[in-house]
Amino acid sequence: MKISTIFLSFVCTGFALSASAQQVAPVKKNLAVRLSKMQERPPLYTLRSARVLERHRLTPGVCMEVYEDYFGGISKRLCRIDDNSTLVARRLRPVFRAGAEDSPTILYEDFEAWDGGNADWLPEGWSEKNTNAEQALMEEGRFTWHVDVKHPQQTIPNAVEGTNFAIVYYANTTGDDGKKVDLAQDEWMISPKIRLGEEPKLSFYLGYSPMFLFDLNNENINWGQMDFVNRKPSTTLKVMISADGADWEEVYDVYDEWCEVAFSDLFNSYFDSSYYPVELLLDDYAGKEVQVAFRFVGKFGNTMEIDAVRFMGKGGEVVGVRPLNVSSEASVAWQDNCITVRHYEGRVKVFDAAGRCLSDVLAQGAAEIPTQGFPEGVLFVRLNDGHSFKLVRGE
């Protein structure tokens, strides 16, 4: 089903209009307080030394680096070979606020309710579907949708509203030869159920690097002529909709916005990560009860972020919520000096960030797992039915 798409853009030169989201969007009154609290809290993830993992020469004077930031997130970036400085793109489509205020808002989500402690937190009524249970446990859950803030030294864009955003890093592992190997991903972040009214719309801001929507392996690029040999997509963001309980339908693919852009233009102007506003007209779903999923799917891509999600329309309403975790029955929580499991029968395993099994118990409707001696940081609880949960152990 084809959906009308409005992709807002401006054209400018230089950096004059490259305003940050904080310069354009109204600053919330409690932002300073929130930033202060963020600085006082221990880091959610294990603090590591920033380092370059791999470097690939693309063309004279330019290379692509696979790098790990201070918080363990792995991303890709372009750098100059001569002075090792990160290239800065001339933004032709700056961040700005979409004109969504002309329609009544049904649901707005800016992820600001996250307290910075629960690694598996999603807003009330939101849920996730993972590529597989094993991959969801890798790298402290970074390869799944989760909520975070921009940390020092990270090159991802600032949040559009406040400090928080939803983010998923591109998945990779280390091969037998010691090199990084990209993994295929299919990560879904799913909204609550919403009954759409008249003139329904969905708007959101998507943070990404347009150039990394394409597979940049050498067999696909003629670096000498700066042109595609094979125009092949890598990892993209799709918007999926399920109406009245029916199968999921694709209504948007960000790759389609860029699939005809010349490689030289992508390389010269669109390789940095910025937020781009997207607005979808959902007239075909007016009056229906829907759920929307943001689907991060593909391989050889790069990190993406989502912020300021808004459902609009006349007469619509939020009609139901889903559980906050990936299981519709079981609940897992951190309470005092134990991990409690409720409404579940079967084996329960607890892993640390390195993948070591810390506990393996049998739950008969419920279980309490003592955590004395467990390491600080992120822990993972995996149920035998394949569902997994991320918890933070700390002060």
Question: So what's the pLDDT on residue 116?
Answer: 76
Alpha helices in 281-331 (DSSP H): none
pLDDT tens digits for the chain (395 residues)? Answer: 545 444 333 333 332 333 333 333 333 333 333 333 333 333 333 333 456 766 666 666 666 666 565 455 566 666 665 655 554 433 333 333 344 445 788 888 989 888 776 677 888 889 898 888 778 777 777 788 999 888 777 778 888 878 899 999 888 888 888 888 888 999 999 999 999 999 999 999 999 999 999 999 889 999 889 999 999 999 999 999 999 989 999 999 999 999 999 999 888 888 788 899 999 999 999 999 999 999 999 998 889 999 999 999 988 888 754 333 334 467 888 877 889 888 888 788 887 766 678 888 888 888 899 988 888 777 878 776 657 777 776 54
Residue 70: how many other CB atoms lie within 10 Å: 17
Question: So what's the pLDDT on residue 37?
Answer: 33
Of 282, 290, 289, give the one whose Cα is nearest residue 313. 282
Distance CA 374, CA 87 (A): 42
- Measure the CA dihedral 16/17/23/25, to 10°: 170
Residue 337: how many other CB atoms lie within 10 Å: 11
Element (H, E) at 33: helix 31-40
Which residue(s) pair with 58 in the sheet? none
Alpha helices in 123-225 (DSSP H): 133-136
Distance CA 311, CA 321 (A): 15
- Phi first, then psi: give them for residue 188, nearest 5 degrees: -115, 135
Question: What's the token pair of residue 83?
Answer: 């002075």
Residue 363: how many other CB atoms lie within 10 Å: 19
> Which residues, at least 6 apart from 247, have a Cβ–Cβ distance to it below 8 Å?
none
Q: What is the DSSP string of 121-137?
A: ---TT-EEE-S-HHHHT
> Which residues, at least 6 apart from 275, have a Cβ–Cβ distance to it below 8 Å?
21, 95, 157, 160, 205, 206, 207, 305, 307
Question: So what's the pLDDT on residue 70?
Answer: 47
Cα end-to-end span (Å), the chain: 50
> Which residues, at least 6 apart from 105, have a Cβ–Cβ distance to it below 8 Å?
310, 311, 312
Distance CA 367, CA 359 (A): 12
Residue 78: how many other CB atoms lie within 10 Å: 20
Distance CA 284, CA 32 (A): 42
Q: Is 373 helix (H, G, I), strand (E, B) or coil?
A: coil
Question: So what's the pLDDT on residue 283?
Answer: 93
Which residue(s) pair with 236 in the sheet? 297
| Cα 148 to the center of its chain, rounded Å | 9
Domains of the chain: 5-320 (2.60.120.200), 331-393 (2.60.40)
Please report where in the chains the tokens 């997207």 appear, as a residue. 278
